[in-house]
Structure 1
Amino acid sequence: MPSATPPQVTSTASAGPDATARAPRRPSAPTLTPLPVPHGLFLVLIAVCTAVTAANIYVAAPLLPLIARDFGSTPSAVAWIASVAQFGYAAGLLFFAPLGDSVNRRRLVAVLSVVTAGALALGAAASGATALAAAVLVASAATVVPQLLVPLVAERAPAHRRASHVAALIAGLFTGIVAARVLGGLVGQAFGWRYVFLGAAALTALLGLASAAVLPTENRKRSGPLLAGLAHLPGVVRGSAELRRACIRQAGMYGAWSALWTSLALLLTGRGGDGYGMTTATAGLFGLFGLAASLVAPLAGGLVDRFGASKVVAYGYGLAAVSVPLFWLGGGALWALCAAAVAIHMALVANHVANQTLALTTTRTPAVANTAYVVAGFAGGALASALAGGAFTHWGWSGVCAVAALWLALGWATTAIPARYRQVRAA
């Protein structure tokens, strides 16, 4: 869609491959107050805090059988609690994440960490599914601390190392997701699901308050309504073609990953034509393949800093495209399934690092832009997961792979074709 042409700027910290990207020029960086701790320690602490808070979104999922047994129910009857966590996180992203541009993040991180810890503790004491779901909803909505800290880290990072620093937080995020699914299940089996919730509450309070203590002092004065960032979100998205491209490509990639990864348990535990007949515990160990994402994140950050976001996204999509037929073969060959699991995680994290760096550097309001980016990815993943469940019911594992392939095709084509059209018109 034609629009006024803004000044040309580099869309990431690296010039060259992305130098042709056009985006609104961000204002000159404000004078930054000193950090109370060395920068390296600051980055490590923020990454660990990101891991713990991200794990809270998924802490209930591996514990559902234990929760059902404790409440005298069946796993299918309490499965909706895991969905409540996703809806809570989406609500928190919309209402809390944009505040990073307008309020003191030190105070906000501390308050959200305490609220999350309190909600998890109440969840550990819940006597029924409804009370537990309410606690999970509040905890998930308040556990958006990672999305408040990513823009801060990007703002503080040297220009030539910005993507690498963002990648450190993304590595922490994926490590937290793996820990929630693997360690949460093991600890819950040994000590009970309530102790997992209590442990998550303690870690969240400890690391959240510690992270708040090392954040730089910010003397911000709000000049409008508290939720002004949310109101400005549509305009920010309309005003940046690069942000829209990052949102769509992340929605396509995360949707493909979600379709495959959320349906994988059905394949592993099922029997007959579409299933390996594994136990739930054995199938859960497949979550360890998520560690590939944590290991690749720093490498992806370095590649973005060196070659630019566009090239990394293109290679990420190429790797994901290779992983889909491997997943299809994995319906009958375990080696192909293992290889595909590693490949899709590598593709996802490379795409995420590149696109999130792009989203953080193309507007004057990075927290609002980051909210749009994360919500777009979440929406793409949620919709693809819903379609994949129905596809598995009707067409088996091949149907799930078809949904993933469709999402990748839509994510790439809807951004690559308009970009090519603009290049032709400019020539």
Structure 2
Amino acid sequence: MPSSSSAAARTGTGTDRTRPSAKPAPTTSRLFLPLIALCTAVTAANIYVAVPLLPLIAHDFGSTPSAVAWLASVAQFGYAAGLLFFAPLGAGVNRRRLVAVLSLVAAAALVAGAATAGTGALAGAVLVASAATVVPQLLVPLVAERAPAERRGRHVAAVIAGLFTGVVAARVLGGLVGQAFGWRVVFVGAAVLTAALGLATAYILPAERRQRQGPLFAGLAALPGVVRHSPDLWRACVRQAGMYGAWSALWTSLALLLTEDGGYGMTTAAAGLFGLFGLAASVVAPLAGGLVDRFGAAKVVRSAYLLAAVSVPLFWLGGRTMAALCAAAVLVHAALVASHVANQTLALTTTSAPATANTAYVVAGFAGGALASALAGPAFSHWGWGGVCAVAAAWLVLGWTATAVRKR
């Protein structure tokens, strides 16, 4: 795999043509990357907002946490669907308007979720909110376009650090606020933040005159061809699907291990604090960006898979030993974010259609994560924590072995 800096020279306009009418004013230029990273954190949190609240939701609806664990998969499937239909629009419509509309739709769906009286209606609201929460993937290609070639990996890493900070915040703050005020308050708070930051981000985006080529959903139709003609993109998609699936199976099931009587028997708030170990991702992201720029994506992804492979047996031991669980949480987040920075930088720079390639990459990752989460819930019910670890291990093996033979 080529490094992000060398591959960047090949990034053309292709089907993703954009002509900025003007650069942002100096003030908004300074706010550009930090605000996009913050908006990414808040919107990414929406995908996982229900995960630490599963015990509270189950209690409210008279069920058990393992019986409502499928809500985590609904959110990931919704996000993947939103990526398929909305992210390709970033190549042909005004991104300022699209970011504003999607932020308001996600906020409205979260408010509707807070008012539901059953898991079916809640699942529908989570599905819509997650489908509209594709704002980060509209912004990452823009960040990559505007960054200097020699710093592209670092700039992409800054946005990804925001994404994983949002994942951590969803678990930690969601657990604490949910324990104190109820899960519905968490949904309303997420809605307010989503609307406010989404509109603020739309305001600072550069004005653009989009030159759309062909039909509105041409980017969606082009996805198979773009992946088929780029072996590097194909490998990035499959390997991240394996990595994200392993992480998702473990992380979305962790609340069950920590809160149920057969596990550690923690409160929702205490279990949420365990998410602080996910801060390792935010720390590793800038470092991974520098390593990608220096050594190339292939070496970073290989190292990330080794870290993840070590974390799985530690997670299994963590079913009985808290120290092993803590160490595993740090390792798996470091592995996930390093792999993500490397693979996404590659996806953005390996074809002449970066927005379309990025859509293919992120859809593949979240589809892998959603499928693993869907299997992890039943695995926990039938075989306990060991079953969840087996699902994670299987996803890592599939993600690596499926791409071990270079495509011609």
Name the residue aligned to 1:93: 83
Name the residue aligned to 2:24: 35
- Conserved 8 A contact 1:293-1:346: yes
- Conserved 8 A contact 1:104-1:218: yes
Equivalent pairs: percent with the same residue? 77
Where structure 1 has 5 or more consecutive residues not aligned to the other structure, the ranges are 1-9, 423-427
1:383-402 equivalences in 2 (<5 Å): 383-402=371-390
Name the residue aligned to 1:172: 162
- Relative to structure 2, which stretch is displaced further, 398-407 or 367-376? 398-407
Deviation at 1:166, TM superposition (A): 0.7
Deviation at 1:295, TM superposition (A): 1.3
Deviation at 1:239, TM superposition (A): 1.2
d(CA) in 2 for partners of 1:130, 1:331:
31
Change (3 A) 1:269 1:81: closer
| Count of matched residue positions in the alignment of Structure 1 and Structure 2 | 404
Change (3 A) 1:320 1:370: same
Change (3 A) 1:393 1:121: closer
1:409 equivalenced with 2:397 (yes/no): yes
- Partner SS state of residue 166, structure 2: helix
Name the residue aligned to 2:352: 364
- Relative to structure 2, which stretch is displaced further, 329-338 or 204-213? 329-338
d(CA) in 1 for partners of 2:313, 2:62:
41
d(CA) in 2 for partners of 1:81, 1:417:
36
Deviation at 1:109, TM superposition (A): 0.6
- Partner SS state of residue 264, structure 1: helix
1:22-421 equivalences in 2 (<5 Å): 26-27=12-13, 32=20, 33-36=22-25, 37-70=27-60, 75=65, 79-270=69-260, 275-418=263-406
- Conserved 8 A contact 1:172-1:294: yes
d(CA) in 2 for partners of 1:387, 1:123:
24
Name the residue aligned to 2:5: 14
Where structure 2 has 5 or more consecutive residues not aligned to the other structure, the ranges are none
Deviation at 1:140, TM superposition (A): 1.4
d(CA) in 1 for partners of 2:68, 2:375:
21
TM-score, with length taken from structure 1: 0.87
d(CA) in 2 for partners of 1:399, 1:65:
20
- Conserved 8 A contact 1:106-1:217: yes
- Partner SS state of residue 316, structure 2: helix
- Conserved 8 A contact 1:312-1:350: yes
**Aligned AA for 2:45?**
A
Name the residue aligned to 1:3: none
Q: Deviations over 1:110-169 (max 9, x none)?
A: 111121222223333345444433332222111110010011101111101111111111
d(CA) in 2 for partners of 1:384, 1:88:
15
d(CA) in 2 for partners of 1:77, 1:325:
26
Deviation at 1:71, TM superposition (A): 5.2
Change (3 A) 1:411 1:41: same
d(CA) in 2 for partners of 1:125, 1:396:
33
Deviation at 1:391, TM superposition (A): 3.7
- Conserved 8 A contact 1:24-1:239: no
- Partner SS state of residue 332, structure 1: coil
d(CA) in 2 for partners of 1:333, 1:210:
44
Q: Which has the larger radius of gyration?
A: 1
Change (3 A) 1:194 1:30: closer
d(CA) in 2 for partners of 1:119, 1:328:
36
Deviation at 1:77, TM superposition (A): 6.0
- Partner SS state of residue 24, structure 2: coil
- Relative to structure 2, which stretch is displaced further, 350-359 or 202-211? 202-211
Deviation at 1:223, TM superposition (A): 3.2
